[in-house]
Amino acid sequence: MNTAYHTISRLLCVIIFSILFIVPLHGLEFSDPLPPEELAAAIEAAMSDEQALAQTFMLGWVGAEPSPLIMDWIRDRNIGGVKIFGWNTDDTLLLARTVGVLQEASLAGPFNIPLLVATDQEGGWIRHVKGSTSETPGNMAIGASGYPHDAYLAGYYIGRELALLGINMNFAPTVDLFTNRDSALIGPRAFGSDPVKAGILGAAIMKGQQAAGIIPTAKHYPGHGDTDLDSHGVLPRIDISFETLWNRELIPYRMLSAEGLPAIMSGHLAFPQTSAAQAPASLSSWFLQDVLRDKIGFRGIVITDDLMMNGATTWAGSLSQTAKQALLAGNDIIMLSATPSLFDPVWSRLLASMREEENFRLRVREAARKIIELKLRHLRGRQSVPFIPDLRKVEQEMRDPESAAFFLNLAAHSVTIVKPRTGQSGSAQANVFPLRPENAGQVLLAGQYSDFFRTGTAAFPAAASYRYSEAQGAAPLVSMARNADTIIFCLSDASGLRLLRSLQPLGKRVIVLSVLSPVYLESVPWVDGAVAVYSYATESFAAGFSAITGRIPAQGGLPYD
């Protein structure tokens, strides 16, 4: 009797999912027989333990096309999602075809459930989907402009490109704060140091992505900004009290949760002065349940950062132990950057634990229900991302003139004159800008980006160019600089800073165009002028040289104290 009942229940669920997911592909209207939460509960109840566990898996794979192993996980296990990394994305059309192949395999499964197809397309520095997608000024540029409307449109245009490719989930906005200036991991990925401003701009990006049909995911909870360590290699320990955390790093999450944020990524970060002690937040039920769910009131799903990162596995031990602890702590999706074998312990031990431990089984099934509900709410209807991308639209609509014009305007809104600062009108440096060919003398452009030289020679046609590298040392640069009246130096990192310092004894006029994080400018107070942009996108270089030459006013402000 029970077997017949479950067979009939599963058959009805197949029919329901066919109606809810397959039919809307053809643009047909329908009415839900039940609210999403009740439908999700009915589907989860009809699933076997294996099927429920599979929904919690989000896997990456190596290569531009689907590997046989990732196809096995989708066809044989019906996993809940896939993660697209930078190594999958150089050919935009091929990526769109790949997403279609993955979704077709998933929709052919027992419950016709589509995949969550996720990536990291934050804007600016972090752009995992390459090919013909837009290079954008990034979060710190939005923080420098200060306009929530810029944030909304950035989320919308980035989201629209992802939607064309069939990508329905984005691990953005990044709401980590620019707290530790030595951080090489966060830097210009942050909006700035102000938590309220980060919350406002993060919420605007969230809304923009949702308008494009994308599921936004805020990260890296509870905050990666106050460390210069990278959780890919180690487990960072951030020694701040919970009071500081609550009133600083957690403010953006509190604000976004109140706005209905659907997903959060948990970070592999330890906060020893809190009740989580030495445990990574991503594996801590105190952080994920007591703080995030109970105190903040977050009702969406929680996704781990890559569990193959040392910040997670060095604390928990094996990958299978890490995955189990992640689910028990309150994560709903465990994300792995590589595809394990079908019978890897990360699967077999989790399944065995479901059969042996009722509390773990219930936790996994709860996670599966929440994932299904998320899909019911976001992956269907006229505004949802298509499961099978239209290759013709990909060719015709990717990075249209409207979005290109917006990102150029964003770069122009954000460009910042750092030196001379406002109020230095009496200084000898006050007249350095605008710098034009007729008052610059012989110009030397020194940098490492092709767009810097292309844009720089358009502004200063007679300029000489030197592409520097730290390996060559300072001597060739100094030799060329001796013959110049003005050096315009592109500064983006510590190695560039070391070369820039070699120019000080020459007594030449030195202008710095800072890209990415502008903190390095604090180490060279002797330069005559400094302009900050916040990415190495073409639009950012165009805005920087336009500010240097006076073609546009520099409207941005430094987004940190």
Q: Between vectors from CA 109 to CA 52 and to CA 210, what angle results, nearest 5°?
A: 75
Report pTM. 0.92
pLDDT in tens, 145-179: 999 999 999 999 999 999 999 999 999 999 999 99
| Least confident range of 7-11, 199-203, 551-555 | 7-11
Q: Are 486 and 511 in contact (CB under 8 A)?
A: yes
| CA proximity to 252, closest of 176, 199, 191 | 199
**What mean pLDDT do residues 235-243 have?**
94
How many Å apart are CA 540 and CA 553, to the nearest integer?
14
Q: Compute the mean pLDDT over every residue in the chain, rounded to the nearest whole number.
A: 92
Worst-scoring range by mean pLDDT, 6-15, 313-322, 521-530? 6-15
Backbone phi and psi for residue 242, each to the nearest 5 degrees, phi listed first:
-65, -35
User: Burial, 388: exposed, middle or buried (Cβ in 10 Å; 0-12, 13-18, 19+)?
Assistant: middle
81-84 β-sheet, strand order: 301-304, 263-266, 215-221, 169-170, 116-119, 81-84, 57-59, 334-336
- 29 pLDDT above the threshold of 60: no
User: What is the helix (H) or strand (E) element at residue 5, kind and residue range?
Assistant: helix 2-17
Could you tell me the pLDDT band of residue 1, with boundaries at 50, 70 and 90? very low
CB 327 within 8 A of CB 49: no
| Active-site amino acid positions | 232, 305
DSSP state letter for 263: E
Q: What are phi and psi of 226, to 5 degrees?
A: -100, 40
Query: How far, in Å, CA of 394 to CA of 378, rounded?
Result: 21
Cα–Cα distances in Å, from 524 out to 180, 306, 497?
19, 38, 8
pLDDT (tens digit per residue) in 250-290: 999 999 999 999 999 999 999 999 999 999 999 999 999 99
**Cβ atoms 178, 186 nearer than 8 A:** yes
Query: What tokens were used for 82?
Result: 């896939």
Which pair of tokens denotes residue 84? 């697209």
| 15-18 contacts at long range (C-beta below 8 A, 24 or more positions apart) | 16/42, 16/43, 17/43, 17/111, 17/112, 17/113, 18/112
The pLDDT assigned to 115 comes to: 98
Distances from the Cα of 101 to the Cαs of 33, 77, 97, 463, 495, in angstroms? 30, 16, 6, 50, 43
Residue 315's pLDDT band, with cuts at 50, 70 and 90, is: confident
CATH number of 415-548: 3.40.50.1700
Percentage of the chain beyond pLDDT 90 is: 83
For CATH 3.20.20.300, the residue range(s) in the chain are 2-401
| Secondary structure class of 97 (helix, strand, coil) | helix
Question: What is residue 333's DSSP assignment?
Answer: B
Percent of the chain residues topping a pLDDT of 70: 91
Q: How confident is the model at residue 228 (pLDDT cuts 50, 70, 90)?
A: confident
2-401, what's its fold?
TIM Barrel (3.20.20)
Residues of the chain with CATH 3.40.50.1700: 415-548
Q: Which two tokens stand for residue 489?
A: 């130096």
Task: Give the pLDDT confidence score for residue 553 in this predicted structure.
Answer: 94
Cα–chain-centroid distance for residue 558?
Answer: 22
Mean pLDDT within 492-519: 96
**Residue 218: beta bridge partners?**
264
Q: What is the pLDDT of residues 366-400, one digit of tens each?
A: 999 999 999 999 998 888 999 999 999 999 999 88
- Cβ burial, residue 241 (10 Å; 0-12/13-18/19+): exposed
Residue 469's pLDDT band (boundaries 50, 70, 90)? confident
pLDDT band at 426 (very low <50, low <70, confident <90, very high): very low
Distances (CA, A) of 483 to 345, 380, 435, 530: 65, 64, 18, 21
Q: What's CA 403's distance to the chain center, in Å?
A: 19
The residue-averaged pLDDT of 533-551 equals 96
CA atoms within 13 A on the CB side of 340: 19
d(CA 58, CA 116): 8
- Over the stretch 193-218, which tens digit does the pLDDT of each residue have? 999 999 999 999 999 999 999 999 99
Q: Which residues contact 361 (CB under 8 A, 6 or more apart)?
A: 49, 353, 354, 355
pLDDT: is 5 or 81 the higher one? 81
